[in-house]
Structure 1
Amino acid sequence: MTSKNIARPLALAALLGALALTGCSAPQAGSAPSSAAAPASATPSPSAASGPNGDFATAAEACAKISEQATGATLLPLSAAQGKTAELKQYEAELAATAERVPDSLKADFANLKDVAVAGVTDQTVFSSGKLQAAMAPVTEWIAANCK
């Protein structure tokens, strides 16, 4: 029964990770529609946390890091279950740092994902109750809309 309780969050994490990463792996040139695309010659503004890339130099960097950290957030309880305290603290610190760097339009949702994922380290009901899925949804939507 314990392995079944662990398998569900792991399967969910793998699925969410695959969904999050598909947004970053799509090619940017060629068949992309020109509806609301950013200008090709946009000048980078590294201190513009409120810009479309947050505190990341490029959209590609923002997409990669946000996807990576969102996926990693779903795996925090696995690290805790394996007793990897040092890794867990490192993941939590990286997640918090990324939460500070995301675009303003994503800050609240990403901070919520971080908080819910960290709570899931000690409270496994975060996964079975759907709280993690609910917290991940707006982040996944942002990735789908902005990482093409």
Structure 2
Amino acid sequence: PLDAADRRDVMVGSRAAVRARDLGRSDLGRDYLLPHWSELARMDADERAALAIALIDCIAGLGNEWLPRVEAAMVAHGNEPAIVAAAGMVFAERQLWGKARRPLEQTAHTATLPGRVRRHALRRLAFIARLEGDEVRGGEYERQAAVID
């Protein structure tokens, strides 16, 4: 468990969240991230990016309670690639395919994001394409995902 000072540090909380996920506790990871989401405006871009990427890493099992948080982050910081990526992944996790598509497409083609995040976005796009019956487009997204380092 994190002590009070560590819980207040965005970067420590983000790393702890990913570690919790590595131990099979994505829910605990999200608990570490939650207090920081209302503080996005006070953070610098690097802190917001770390928080957003950690949320992506802890996405499994994420509930609807994250939708308004991520939507508010998009309104305030929608020009930041990691925030866009987190929004796309959250929307996809909640099966909001129409809302997920555009941010996932942006994420897939943003070279400044980690390769694993871009790969995940492309795989989600492949899944959406196949849901819509477009096997060709789904295969193309999978091929694009496969070549990302």
TM-score by length of 1: 0.28
The higher relative CO (CA closer than 8 Å, separation ≥ 6) is in 1
TM-score by length of 2: 0.28
Indicate the structure (1 or 2) with the bigger Cα radius of gyration.
1
